[in-house]
Structure 1
């Protein structure tokens, strides 16, 4: 994975804007600042959108990618396990400075290759291999962009970068589910093939839109980026020049250093995120495929019949509802809503557990009578909407809070600035292990869950899910 243009080689071009800003008037400075912050938000939004959109397309296309007899949970497993390997491998094993340009170009190549494999081959094993390749790229990309956000300062700017990235990942759910709703009519080969060009947006955004961190230190911060709360004095992270000097000392965090940084995060951030994603993806992959009903008649359900034309339309519709609500909740910080207090970060996990229980009961025995299809549909629609809101809030608030955390290396005058930078990058990178592990566990639980719920429906004479 060669990088073409190295990160350091474009630093001079980007930082030239810092020098140019020194002679601007206040009005010009504010206009320039507004432009730079718009480009920053747009860049991280696009990073989140493109990095996650293929992941969502694959999940939404689960019914079309595997034979009817194959549990859809196997798609979720192949779509998350390689991402988990990436999130564990890079922050916990890799030492030293992060080479962002090399990573992003490598991720782009892996994503494109994976989707092309899925599109060109009909065999289950080759499609699963292509999904694994795209998954690894998505996991490494998410980790990289979250770490990249820590290079921007002050902390309010870094926090909003995370907010825009989270908003982009939420939009990826909406765009991916919507795209597959449209592209599925073209078939797997054409639909997946067309989506394979989307990762090319990432390197273009990185090189041509994303402002350099130094460019933002010399402009006034817009009111929307003002500090929510200052817990510790701000200490700038090292510039590229500082980092090049520090590199001579071969600064690298040891395993003991990383474990010391991770321990305080386990219960505070990782456990709530792990629980939310375990419940959420057990619903999406194990219960949602069984939440199917007869095709509504136009006479009784005029509007619903316009949306559901086949029993196979229910699953992608639930995915679309879920992804839509995830998008709005993940965008909460970027649109100016206050983040959740740290003490409430576990609330979404409890809500997800309750929703999972209700949907499992609805699928297995049916809460409403067979003649009340409209009530059943509305009930499921509401619960899946709340599920998406809880999942999105958990994601954006956990990563926002860890991005805003201050630790001793950032306030200690004797601390090595390069070490401080690596610690901050590692801390936000280590959190991804929790959500990916939750999704992986859910993909394992989803297989027997889907089978058992389908059997429960069959025992009460509802055979629709057996035909899918």
Structure 2
């Protein structure tokens, strides 16, 4: 059983020579029979990667299932945008509320078990109630749980050290969230024939994978050695076991239960940490998601062409109703690949290039908007070139979105502590947890704003197409 762990406040120095020898042993290519710890560490890394991949997959898959099932969850007269709104707004509330307004040590076990129960309950409400209000309520509960779960898993990654191990956790969590798009859409395609009650009801058992993974697969941070992150003096600290988590300061409480020193971040402390991240991390993430989801929800439904008379494309596209699912499949696939970039060994983006995905995404947004409105891509009788160019741009859109997500959170995870808290281990720990948890509202708010812009944008683009004689959007 894995308990949440945190560093003690006392550190001891390891001689540099020993630290150097230990580092060499870890990094060198050596005989595993001579140094069996190498095999043990490989096994721990595999378990850690699988655990965080499952966390990302299960935490986000219900979100995708809800969106995929939107047509079946509400009456035909109800705008489908209300599903998207109820599926993101509660998650945004969770991402703002928990890191900014609660203080103290995070109780990971209680929080994750609570998220699991809330997700399962929300999906059961959707499954067993037919009224629109109750289904939207169930979607909201599952959304709140997903938002809280995402920031919790990102915060959990900061409890691992050294930085390479913490980055390993973030990379695999990001890969899991990318896989959720493909897995969720596929699962609903397979079970939708069973109806909402059975199909959504079956999906309600999926959150149980999270506590099973947490208790039985996730390795303890202590298993990777007692190195404290970001300490150039090679300081080491003994990592706690489960007893410290039980005796530690309770999340949301200002009363210390057993700590010698009462440590928690005030609102002023949190604002001090957030201020330098607004432009560096939050703005690029917000912009990427604003453009990305406006493309997906407002522009992609209008990227329609006659059914192609082409040897290859005609095997994929049989009617104009096939275009939008095709664009979504291309998008979800490239998001998964780009969110997996770090976990498969590709180097992360340098910090100064973090705005690049947002800039490219804006260019894609403008290009596809103009193409939808007036038609700028070269075309012939079968529209093959237009379809190929849109395919390329949607692929690039997914790459930009996934790259922005994984690289922003990876870089936050790798940030060293502030100089004034570098030697206060408990405060540095809480600062790392808050920083990575505080940024999540940027992507969710971008999605929320996009859902508000997308509906009038789709209507306007369709009207523009009709005005120039292209009536395909009216035939859906």
TM-score band by shorter chain is 0.7 to 0.9
Counterpart in the other structure of 2:17: none
Counterpart in the other structure of 1:276: 288
Displacement, 1:412?
3.4
| Structure 1 stretch displaced more, 33-42 or 103-112 | 103-112
Q: Is 1:105 the equivalent of 2:113?
A: yes
Displacement, 1:108?
1.1
Change (3 A) 1:29 1:272: same
User: Pairwise mapping of residues 395-406 of structure 1 onto structure 2 (< 5 A)?
Assistant: 395-406=405-416
Q: Is 1:82 the equivalent of 2:90?
A: yes
Counterpart in the other structure of 1:17: none
Displacement, 1:407?
1.7
Displacement, 1:87?
0.3
Displacement, 1:304?
3.6
Q: Among residues 55, 74, 80, which one is paired with 2:63 in the alignment?
A: 55
Separation in 1, partners of 2:367, 2:216: 48
Q: Among residues 264, 276, 279, which one is paired with 2:276 in the alignment?
A: 264
Separation in 2, partners of 1:185, 1:304: 28
CA contact (8 A) 1:83 1:436 kept: yes
Matched residue SS, 1:148: helix
CA contact (8 A) 2:2 2:214 kept: no
Displacement, 1:409?
6.0
| Structure 1 stretch displaced more, 271-280 or 359-368 | 359-368
Change (3 A) 1:336 1:234: farther
Gaps in structure 2 of 5+ consecutive residues: 6-31, 250-255
Displacement, 1:198?
1.5
Separation in 1, partners of 2:372, 2:105: 50
Displacement, 1:109?
1.5
**1:150-177 CA-partner distances (Å, limit 9, x unpaired):** 0000111001110111111111122223
Gaps in structure 1 of 5+ consecutive residues: 10-23, 220-226
Q: Among residues 313, 316, 325, which one is paired with 1:316 in the alignment?
A: 325
Q: Among residues 354, 364, 371, which one is paired with 2:373 in the alignment?
A: 364
Displacement, 1:313?
3.4
Counterpart in the other structure of 2:145: 137
Taking structure 2 as the reference length, what is the TM-score of the superposition?
Answer: 0.84
Displacement, 1:57?
2.2
Counterpart in the other structure of 1:19: none
Displacement, 1:411?
6.4
Counterpart in the other structure of 1:192: 200
CA contact (8 A) 2:310 2:382 kept: no
Change (3 A) 1:267 1:382: same
**1:45-91 CA-partner distances (Å, limit 9, x unpaired):** 11011111111222333444445554443322221111110000000
Matched residue SS, 1:125: helix
**1:337-393 CA-partner distances (Å, limit 9, x unpaired):** 111011110010011111111212222233345833322322221111000000111
Separation in 1, partners of 2:189, 2:383: 23
Separation in 2, partners of 1:53, 1:157: 25
Separation in 2, partners of 1:290, 1:185: 28
CA contact (8 A) 1:410 1:420 kept: no
Separation in 2, partners of 1:32, 1:410: 36
Q: Is 1:239 the equivalent of 2:249?
A: no
Counterpart in the other structure of 2:29: none
Matched residue SS, 1:27: coil
CA contact (8 A) 2:2 2:215 kept: no
**1:240-269 CA-partner distances (Å, limit 9, x unpaired):** 466647743442211011111111111111
Q: Among residues 312, 334, 347, which one is paired with 1:325 in the alignment?
A: 334
User: Pairwise mapping of residues 412-431 of structure 1 onto structure 2 (< 5 A)?
Assistant: 412-413=422-423, 415=424, 417-431=425-439
Separation in 2, partners of 1:236, 1:449: 55
Change (3 A) 1:218 1:251: closer
Matched residue SS, 2:172: helix
Separation in 2, partners of 1:266, 1:36: 35
Change (3 A) 1:195 1:313: farther
CA contact (8 A) 2:4 2:107 kept: no
